Amino acid sequence: MNSNFNISLFLLAAIACLSEGCCPERFMQVGRRCYYYNSGKVDWHDANRACQRLGAHLVSIHNAEDSREVYALWKSLVDADRRDDRDAAYWIGLNDDRIEGFFEWSDGTRLGYSLWQRGEPNNTNGGEDCVAPRNDGRNDFDRQRWNDGTCTDRKSYFCRRSL
């Protein structure tokens, strides 16, 4: 590509940012939201803190479209040979860490929608307080369904903030 073309692209991006706002470095823009994906595996609390340091929160999911958006993004980012791996799924902001059985989103938004796997949340051994899609099922929708798991499990994660 010649340098004039590159400069033109840069200017177009800059103009779009000035008019609509743009995502911080390392965030991906989807609609009017900015996503950050980290494939490095960390426990839920470390993931939560990492998002806060980026001025964001672990993703919250409020309808089927939210869920599909995050899952589709994950599928586009994860290595093809890990897409069927149950352990490859990512932390989301949902947790009942504060009060057992009272699930909350880490970004403070209200819990009005849920997408649990059958039989979940089950708080196995009294110690499951952090939620991730289980990536298990016959189709992409079932694979987005949630499981409450152990917060010290290590998973990749998504942070999100608005533009």
Which stretches of the chain bind Ca ion, using CB under 5 A? 96, 120, 122-123, 128-129, 147-148
CB of 91 to Ca ion, least distance (A): 14
- What six digits make up the tokens of 83? 């897409």
Complex with Ca ion: residue 66 or 129, whichever CB lies closer: 129
Beta bridge partners of residue 33, listed in sequence order:
30, 162
CA–CA dist 12, 33 (Å, integer): 19
Beta bridge partners of residue 148, listed in sequence order:
131
CB of 117 to Ca ion, least distance (A): 8
Q: Which amino acid is at 102?
A: F
DSSP line for 52-98: HHTT-EE----SHHHHHHHHHHHHHHS-GGGTT-GGG-EE-SEEEEE
Complex with Ca ion: residue 69 or 129, whichever CB lies closer: 129
CB of 111 to Ca ion, least distance (A): 14
CB of 161 to Ca ion, least distance (A): 27
